[in-house]
């Protein structure tokens, strides 16, 4: 039994602090005061709430401990490197079919698309006869920390396109979808078709956009010493998008069979989430200020090396996958991109942002529909 009385805050004291919270506490207090004789007292109600919170905390700690002691480690070997430059590599998963070059985000490791045995979009597509290529941006060194979005797109990504076979499908995931779209518009001679997966476009549809943009001035002193937005700060920004989801997922993990497939997939994804990379400071300024703050892409104001990035200018086949349960890129942000590309095939995946590409249901949610679209090109 937790030590409720002396160490816990007074139910009627300074908690909760917000006006809305205080109003709710007052409403509950009035309701408790009007209880019928024999009903639980306010003190009993308070004790019940604290017991519930204690049980939730205990489940959270069990889940964290179970994750830390789980033995699973990613053991997949990297495929051959087709091209490299600085910290970037283009990984070639083989096959004689149509090449599909995948562009991941700059803020997460590439291997979410090649996560684990039985949890790899790359190896699934290779098994269907395609030739998947995966761009690994790598850990940004002193040179990459000076890169802008133009340097990444008109520089590294275009040179990777030149090293890959012509007539490929260019596929971008999350932020990588914006980079892929810009590169495809610049190099239609190299790109035959475009696939955009969980890609944001209209940032005004994201209720968090304004708050993220307003953080930029406060982040400047943190970025200046290293020339990048560090991994810990990026993790904090992602956590702000849905802070209650983090403890809840570990509580759910505490109830799983540690030897089961779901537990293994959870550990593989959590290891990937904790293996982030810094974001170059110039890119952080462009994305937080220009994308989230000014909604530059949807307003037609985002340009790469002087060329506006306008989805309506893409004339080839396009596939736009939108996770229905996405909390990182809300569907309202991604749907306008699908509508802006002439003739785009829109696929609504019954999954979340990460679950669509690497979750337990990823094969049905995305892998097979994407493969079917590729096969029909």
Confidence grade of residue 48 (pLDDT, cut at 50, 70, 90): confident
| pLDDT over threshold 80, residue 170 | yes
Least confident of 18-27, 235-244, 348-357: 18-27
pLDDT single digits (tens) 94-115 = 988 999 999 999 999 999 999 9
- Rounded to the nearest 5 degrees, what angle is found at the Cα of 282, between the Cα atoms of 279 and 283? 50
3-state class of 327 per DSSP?
A: coil
Question: How many Å apart are CA 160 and CA 236, to the nearest integer?
Answer: 32
More confident residue, 16 or 163: 163
> In the chain, where are the structural domains located?
81-208+275-376
- Give the DSSP letter of residue 303: E
| pLDDT over threshold 70, residue 21 | no
| pLDDT over threshold 80, residue 24 | no
Confidence grade of residue 273 (pLDDT, cut at 50, 70, 90): very high
Question: How many Å apart are CA 366 and CA 110, to the nearest integer?
Answer: 17
Domain spanning 81-208+275-376, CATH class: alpha beta
pLDDT of residue 12: 44
Q: pTM of the predicted model, to two decimals?
A: 0.86
| pLDDT over threshold 90, residue 236 | no
In this structure, the dihedral spanned by the alpha carbons of residues 166, 169, 175 and 181, taken in order and rounded to 10 degrees, is 70
Task: Find residue 90's DSSP bridge partners.
Answer: 83, 135
pLDDT of residue 20: 55
Question: How many Å apart are CA 330 and CA 324, to the nearest integer?
Answer: 8
pLDDT single digits (tens) 75-93 = 999 999 999 999 999 999 9
More confident residue, 28 or 255: 255
Backbone angles phi, psi at 191, to 5 degrees: -115, 120
Token pair listed for 336? 């306008």
């Amino acid at each position: 039994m937790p030590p409720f009385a002396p160490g816990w805050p007074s139910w009627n004291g300074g908690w909760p602090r917000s006006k809305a919270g205080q109003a709710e506490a007052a409403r509950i207090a009035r309701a408790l005061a009007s209880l019928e004789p024999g009903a639980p007292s306010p003190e009993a109600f308070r004790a019940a709430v604290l017991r519930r919170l204690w049980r939730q905390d205990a489940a959270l700690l069990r889940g964290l401990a179970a994750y830390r002691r789980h033995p699973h480690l990613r053991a997949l070997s990297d495929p051959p490197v087709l091209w490299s430059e600085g910290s970037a590599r283009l990984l070639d998963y083989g096959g004689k079919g149509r090449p599909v070059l995948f562009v991941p985000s700059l803020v997460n490791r590439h291997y979410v698309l090649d996560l684990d045995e039985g949890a790899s979009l790359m190896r699934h597509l290779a098994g269907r006869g395609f030739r998947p290529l995966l761009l690994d941006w790598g850990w940004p060194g002193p040179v990459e920390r000076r890169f802008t979005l133009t340097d990444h797109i008109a520089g590294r990504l275009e040179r990777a396109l030149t090293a890959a076979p012509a007539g490929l499908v260019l596929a971008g995931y999350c932020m990588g979808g914006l980079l892929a779209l810009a590169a495809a518009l610049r190099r239609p001679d190299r790109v035959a078709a475009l696939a955009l997966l969980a890609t944001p476009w209209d940032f005004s549809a994201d209720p968090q956009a304004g708050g993220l943009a307003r953080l930029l001035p406060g982040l400047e002193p943190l970025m200046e010493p290293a020339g990048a937005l560090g991994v810990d700060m990026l993790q904090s920004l992602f956590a702000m998008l849905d802070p209650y989801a983090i403890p809840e997922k570990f509580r759910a993990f505490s109830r799983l069979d540690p030897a089961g497939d779901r537990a293994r997939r959870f550990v593989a994804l959590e290891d990937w989430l904790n293996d982030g990379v810094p974001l170059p400071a110039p890119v952080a300024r462009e994305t937080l200020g220009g994308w989230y703050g000014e909604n530059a892409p949807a307003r037609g104001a985002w340009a790469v090396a002087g060329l506006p990035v306008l989805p309506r200018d893409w004339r080839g086949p396009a596939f736009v996958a939108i996770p229905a349960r996405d909390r990182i890129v809300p569907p309202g942000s991604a749907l306008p991109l699908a509508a802006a590309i002439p003739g785009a095939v829109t696929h609504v995946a019954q999954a979340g942002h990460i679950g669509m590409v690497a979750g337990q249901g990823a094969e049905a949610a995305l892998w097979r529909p994407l493969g079917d679209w590729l096969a029909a090109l």
